[in-house]
Amino acid sequence: MSYVIPAERLSLSQQERLRAGADRQARIRLARKLAIPEAQALDPINPAVICRDEDYVTDFIPAGAGVGLAGWLSMPLAAIAGMYSVFANAAVVALTPQVPNNQAWVFYGVDILLADAAGENITYLQFGVGIANNRRAQFTLEGLYGGLSPSGYFSQPVFYDPQETANIQVRARIATGVGARVRLATFIAEPIQNTVI
C-alpha cells in the first residue's frame, strides 16, 4: 500500500529511517543490475555505489533542453482534472526521462513549493513507467494541504531501474495556465567512479 505521510507527523529519526531505507534499496537494486556484490555496494568506508540528491536540470532534462531552467516546474496546468508531467524543458515541452544504464532512481517523498500560484492546485501524483505509462505508484496530495507545510514521505519508495522511462504526472485541480512547483525527493544511485556534480 502506498500513501503520503505528512513530514510534520514524523519525527526526525523516522524521516531519517525512510531516507536511509530508500538509499539502501537504491544501492542494492543498482548493484544487482550491474553485477556488483551487495557487500561492496553497501560498504560504509569504500562503497562501490553511492547515492546522491538529484539535480533536476542535469539528471532529468536532456542536454541543451534545460537552458534557462533552475529547478522543478511541471507542465502548465491547462485544464481541470488534466494530468501534466512534472518534467518539462525550457520550451515547456513534457518530458519522460530515461534512467541511464549506470543509474537507479528512487523517489521517496514530495514537497509542494508554494512560491507560485499553482501551489494547492494539484491533487494527485502518479508514477508511470514506459511508453505505455503502466502505473507504478500513485499518491493523493490533498492531505498535505491541511498541515503547516505541504511536504511528505512516501510509505514505500518508488524505484526506476536502468533504462526505464519515468512518466511522472500531477493532476490539476484548477486550470491556472502555469506550472506547479512539485519537488520529488530523489536519490540517484550510481557507481562511485562517476563524477558527482
Domain residue limits at 161: 4-191
Establish if 9 belongs to a structural domain: yes
Residues 6+ apart with CB under 8 A from 94: 75, 84, 85, 87, 88
Please say if the pLDDT value at position 101 is more than 70.
yes
Note the pTM of the prediction, 2 decimals.
Answer: 0.92
> Is 128 among the domain residues?
yes
C-alpha grid cell, residue 155: 510509505
* Residue 44 falls inside a structural domain: yes
Question: Is the pLDDT reported for residue 44 higher than 70?
Answer: yes
Cell of 46: 569504500
**Please, which residues have CB within 8 angstroms of residue 46's CB and are 6 or more apart in sequence?**
none
Q: What is the C-alpha separation between 37 and 63, in angstroms, rounded? A: 32
**Residue 113 pLDDT greater than 90, yes or no:** no
Query: pLDDT, tens digit, for every residue of 75-88?
Result: 999 999 999 999 98
CA gap 140, 75 in Å, rounded: 19
- The answer to whether residue 197 is domain-embedded is no
Q: Is residue 28 part of a domain?
A: yes
Sheet holding 83-85, edge to edge: 83-85, 166-172, 122-129, 134-140
At 161, the pLDDT band (50, 70, 90 cuts) reads: very high
What is 59-81 written as a DSSP string? IIS-TTTTTT--S----B--STT
Helix (H, G, I), strand (E, B) or coil at 53: strand
Q: What is the pLDDT of residue 120?
A: 80
Q: Phi, psi (5° rounding) for residue 123?
A: -120, -15
In a domain, 196, yes or no: no
Kindly tell me if the per-residue pLDDT of 174 is higher than 70.
yes
% the chain with pLDDT above 90: 69
Residue 107 located in a structural domain: yes
Provide the number of structural domains found in the chain. Answer: 1
Query: What's the confidence (pLDDT) of residue 66?
Result: 72
Q: Is 130 left (phi over 0), alpha (psi -120 to 50) or beta?
A: left
In a domain, 8, yes or no: yes
